[in-house]
Structure 1
Amino acid sequence: MSVSRLWAIMRKEFRHVQRDRRLFFLVIVSPTIMLLAFAYLFSFDATTTRLILLDRDHSPQSRALVQAIATDPDLVIVGEAVSQEELRRAIRAGRVKLALVIPPDFGATLAAGRQAQVLLQGDGADPINSSIEMAALAARLQEWAQAYQPRTLIAPVEVRTLVWYNPDLKSSDSMVPALLAVVLILPAMAVGLAVTREKELGSFESLATTPVRASEYILGKLIPYIIYGLVGAALAIAVSLFWFHVPLRGSVLALAVLTAIYLWASLGISIFIAGFLSTQSTALRAILLIFLVPSFFLTGIVIPIDEQARLTANSLPATHFVAISRGLFLKGLSWQALGPHVFALLVMGTFSVAGAILTFHKRVR
């Protein structure tokens, strides 16, 4: 690989984006505008409530309560924790968004005719789902409590809630970091359009008469759009922090590096797909169909990821960046905790770029 030829292609792309106002707007400005629009417009509902249980009492009363929850078709107990730390790890890892803790004196308090308490704990990184699920479970607990002691003048069970990471359950704190994964698809769209534009102009085939290698061409196209994408991402992140006041509890450096890795994956897939397409209109439709539409419905932004669709969801770069972004902004997760998502993005990007290089080499030679 020649560094001079690589730089020549990169410089050409830098100038092209700077001169083309529509392309510059698409890569730099549009992500922030889309983020503002989606953050104000988006809302979604939760379906089945999944929770983890910590029963510290193991009395007949607590077992009756657990049985009532287990027989409710809208409530699913995914496991029983043996300690508060295990319960917290389950929420931190994203296995569930809701937990129920039954205290040691639950049964004795009810037997004495006094008001007992249980504790609901929710994942504030996903406040809309968490608040809806907590309300649904709280209502079910109150129904059971009234059926257990229907003549009491006070509620026999008092439900208290504790929400981690987003105590006020602000939807913007959860949605804005997740929507970064969607709006940063625009640089991927731009690089796909750039490749197909050269095909339409005939300059793509003329590369066969030049000494430019496939790797130089692909990387020369890719790197400028990653850099411009990072500039657009910086503007969108600034809006997240200073307009929506989303807390950033993780490392700024980690967010920058992982955003670059996400752009590497999404742009790599886009340039690989563009290698098989011949017009900009076809590339635009393909990228919208493959990236934008599934990003709303299969990545956990709009609705929880269905187990039957998890394989498809995990094949989308946006799925992993949604988890990364929420984890960094709200939970302050470490590199180690985000490792599986980072690895998935690196694999996607590397294989896509390698495929694009091989495809380019075959087509122009």
Structure 2
Amino acid sequence: MAGPLSHIRILDLSRIMAGPWAGQILADLGADVIKVERAGVGDDTRRWGPPFLKDTEGNETKESGYYLCVNRGKRSIEVDLASNEGQNIIKELAKTSDIVLENFKVGTLERYGLSANDLKQINPKLIYCSVTGFGQNGPQAKDVAYDFMIQAMGGLMSVTGAADGSPGAGPQKVGIPIIDMMTGMYAAISVLAALAKRAENGEGDVIDIGMLDVATAMLANQGMNYLVSGNVPSRKGNKHPNIQPQDVFEVKDGHIVLAVGNDEQFERFSEALNKPEWSQDVRFSTNKERVNNLDVLHPLICDELKKQELRYWLDSFNVAKVPCGPINSVPMVLDEPQVKHREMLQYIDHPLAGKVPQIVSPMKFTNSPLKFDKAPPQLGENTSEILAELGIDGE
């Protein structure tokens, strides 16, 4: 596989989503990612279906959609970490690896002799990244965590959902495992930064990533809004807490998303609505006043937008250079001309299905273009191959 990390090997001991997401990012970048899976069982997500990939005859395989979304480009080896033989295999792999990714409960790999200290004695240049729910220390360090509960604990659900008192009010989770994915992103960024530092001083590093830490960092503008004002952020549905008008609005035949980001855009927006006087109104002329007077402005906008169909408004606002868009379903996203042009959906050869669809990496390099030619591996697909590379007999 090509890419800027084609000279890097990753020993991926992680499973489910956060760690494997980091591993897939690195695999997409060209790294040789060796996915270590529990013998006879494999990654938990292999069983997280339906749906499951169908083979060329239309029969269900054991490859779940969930597993397939996060393990592209890797090689799979089955290892029993509780056995001496399995532990020795991991140590041999660590000798030639640049990075270890793991998301076991705190203390588990230490019992197997596979902790950061253990493996760095074998390979001092190793970069060892641990991904857990709560980090390696603290009162909850040994607790198990899942994305959903961390979305709740980390405050994300307190600012996601319809406003209290409105229909459907109440906390909501994000529709994708966003904490897992962002944890994987932070893990990938961390190991790449450690690689850059190692190139300078020749030393490896140990990295500690906690999902609750990630969720806390993700509070971003909402967290700072609270720290600056002392006001607790609340759910506002689709309304932006700092910039207006930004919301979902009903039109004659559906809904439109508007993301008016500054005063100049609001002026063009007002003109497109045939309401140029709005941008001169002291209540609406600046973003600060639009936020303060949203209870007046919002119904005025709603009344105007209901007069025309979605296509009319999309065309009008695009001409006026006002950010807007339809609310696409997943198939509609994949059918967007821009998404097609950018080749975000690709099909990779698969031994069971013939081809497996993949929504690929958005990273596009000029000098080291990425290639997507290695499907998510079947359980243990590369065991013999990897053992042979280590000089270990497959039996």
TM > 0.5 fold call: no
Q: TM-score per shorter chain, which class?
A: under 0.3
TM-score by length of 1: 0.25
TM-score by length of 2: 0.23
Higher helix share goes to which structure?
Answer: 1
Higher strand share goes to which structure?
Answer: 2
